[in-house]
Each structure stands twice: as structure tokens, then as C-alpha cells.
């Protein structure tokens, strides 16, 4: 494990102190030498080596056997096709869903309707539903997403995502941070040369900064 990342997490923890609620831990990656106005964007779902205690929430949009398998796999929400249709008249409920759930999976046959009904609210948040083929291993896909985070740019040279919570030890958080950094590097035009700095922050703490550094 990279000692610099462990030190970064430790510093962020010290700057946060103890609170009367469980704080989340965010990783922030500053980018450089990329022109976001020329179409560069990043929206990557990254499986973390250590699942946070607060798992990501997944909504599955499906009917029939797929819906049944999603319920057996304890999806956080299973929405039938008929329920999806009803949302077309309730933009408020659609927005609520986009806030509550981190990831969306949809039966491939329902994808056109999902795009029409939920696309306007999920698209801007980078949460467009991922296709769920009929023969997909629903259990495995849900397990992966529950332990994943989303690293996304928002029209600026910065990527931020949650890598865990304060109950996790520094080494586990650092390993999660490294997984995110490596995944982001692979999507950058010039790899690690596009990274200007790495930061970590607990919910109520001040930012801990790591200057331009090579981690491996």
C-alpha cells in the first residue's frame, strides 16, 4: 500500500475529528492539461476492494423473471414496467428516485421507456440506467454495484467520489483510493500526467492534500 495515501487518509481523519454521526470519506482528484470544453468527460463506475459499511443503493427496473431474480437478490428497489409508465406523469417522484438510488439497472426491453421517462432526470446526474440482459447474473451485478463508487467530472478539472466511511481503517480507505486513482488514470488522455493533485476529506473535516505524486 502506498504510504503517501495512508498518510493522506490519516491526516484527513485528524482534521475531521469525531462527530455524532458516521462521516463519509471522499477522494478528490484535481486534473490538469485537459480541455473539458472539447468534450472530455468521465463517468466511471469503479468496484472498490473494500465495501463501505453504507453500501450503494441499486434500483432494478424489470418485469417477469428478471424482476423476480432481482427481488431474490435483495435489490434495494425493483420497479415493474407498469410502475415506470406511471412515472411519466410524476416528475417529482422521478427526481426523488434519482436522489435515493446510486445505480440503476434496467431490462434491455425496457431501456427505451427508461430513457424517455427517467432519462431527463438521470442523465444530468450521470446515473443513466445500465442495461440488464435477460440472462444476466443479477446477484453478481448487484454485489458489484453495492461495493462500487462513481467517479465523474462535472464540467471542471476535478473528479470526486466516496471511497468509504470513517469506521473503515486507514489502510482499507487508502486501498480504495488507489483503486479509484488507477481507474481514473486509465481514462485520462495522458494518464498520470493529467493528475495535478490528490485530496481526501471526511464529511465535516478540512481537506487533506497530497501534491502531484505518482502512486502505484
Give CATH superfamily name and number for 58-145.
Ribosomal protein L1/L10, domain II (3.40.50.790)
- The predicted-structure confidence for 19-36, as pLDDT tens digits, reads as follows 888 899 999 999 999 987
pLDDT for res 200:
97
Give residue 17's pLDDT: 82
Q: Is 214's pLDDT higher than 60?
A: no
pLDDT at 36: 73
Mean pLDDT of the chain: 91
CATH fourth-level superfamily of 3-53+148-211: Ribosomal protein L1/L10, rRNA-binding domain (3.30.190.20)
> Which residues is 104 bridged to in the sheet?
59
Summarize the confidence of residues 43-52 as an average pLDDT.
95
- State residue 69's pLDDT score: 95
**What SS3 class is residue 136?**
coil
For the cut 60, the answer to whether the pLDDT of residue 60 exceeds it is yes
Q: What is the percentage of the chain residues whose pLDDT exceeds 90?
A: 78
* pLDDT tens sequence across 67-85: 999 999 999 999 998 888 8
Contact residues for 200 (Cβ-Cβ < 8 A; gap 6+): 8, 9, 11, 12, 25, 26, 27, 28, 163, 173, 177, 207, 208, 210
Please report the DSSP string for 26-88 in residue order.
EEEEEE-S--GGGT---EEEEE-SS--SSPPPEEEE--HHHHHHHHHTT-SEEE-HHHHHHGG
Percentage of the residues of the chain whose pLDDT score is greater than 70: 97
Q: Return the half-sphere exposure (C-beta side, CA atoms, 13 A cut-off) of residue 139.
A: 3
Is residue 32 a contact partner of residue 191, using CB atoms and an 8 Å limit?
A: no
Cβ atoms within 10 Å of 164's Cβ, excluding its own: 25
For residue 212, what pLDDT is reported?
59
- The per-residue pLDDT for 190 is 93
Average pLDDT over residues 113-118: 93
Nearest alpha carbon to residue 75 among 162, 139, 132, 122: 139
- pLDDT of 127 reads 95
Going by the DSSP 8-state scheme, the letter that residue 194 receives in this structure is G
pTM summary value:
0.88
Task: Give the DSSP H or E segment for 197.
Answer: strand 195-202
Q: pLDDT class for 211, splitting at 50, 70, 90?
A: low
Rounded to an integer, the average pLDDT of 161-183 is 96
Q: Where are the domains of the chain?
A: 3-53+148-211, 58-145
Phi, psi of 44 (to 5 degrees): -110, 130
For residue 53, pLDDT over 80 is answered with yes
What is the pLDDT, as a whole number, of residue 103? 97
CA distances from 201 to 25, 28, 36, 154, 196 (A): 6, 8, 24, 18, 17
Amino acid at each position: 500500500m502506498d504510504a503517501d495515501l495512508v498518510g493522506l487518509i490519516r491526516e484527513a481523519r485528524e482534521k475531521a475529528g469525531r462527530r455524532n454521526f458516521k462521516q463519509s470519506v471522499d477522494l478528490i482528484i484535481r486534473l490538469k492539461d485537459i480541455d473539458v470544453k472539447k468534450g472530455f468527460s468521465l463517468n466511471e463506475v469503479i468496484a472498490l476492494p473494500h465495501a463501505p459499511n453504507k453500501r450503494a443503493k441499486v434500483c432494478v427496473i424489470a418485469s417477469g423473471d428478471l424482476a423476480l431474480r432481482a427481488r431474490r437478490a435483495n435489490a434495494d428497489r425493483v420497479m415493474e414496467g407498469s410502475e415506470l409508465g406511471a412515472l411519466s406523469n410524476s416528475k417529482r417522484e422521478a427526481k426523488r428516485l434519482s436522489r435515493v438510488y446510486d445505480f440503476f439497472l434496467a431490462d434491455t426491453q425496457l431501456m427505451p421507456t427508461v430513457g424517455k421517462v427517467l432519462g431527463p432526470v438521470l442523465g444530468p446526474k450521470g446515473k443513466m440506467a445500465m442495461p440488464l440482459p435477460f440472462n444476466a447474473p443479477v446477484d453478481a451485478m448487484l454485489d458489484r454495484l453495492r461495493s462500487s463508487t462513481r467517479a465523474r467530472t462535472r464540467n471542471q478539472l476535478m473528479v470526486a467520489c466516496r471511497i468509504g466511511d470513517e469506521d473503515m481503517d486507514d489502510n482499507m480507505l487508502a486501498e480504495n483510493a488507489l483503486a479509484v486513482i488507477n481507474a481514473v488514470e486509465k481514462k485520462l488522455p495522458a494518464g498520470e500526467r493529467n493528475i495535478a493533485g490528490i485530496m481526501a476529506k471526511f464529511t465535516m473535516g478540512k481537506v487533506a492534500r497530497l501534491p502531484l505524486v505518482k502512486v502505484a
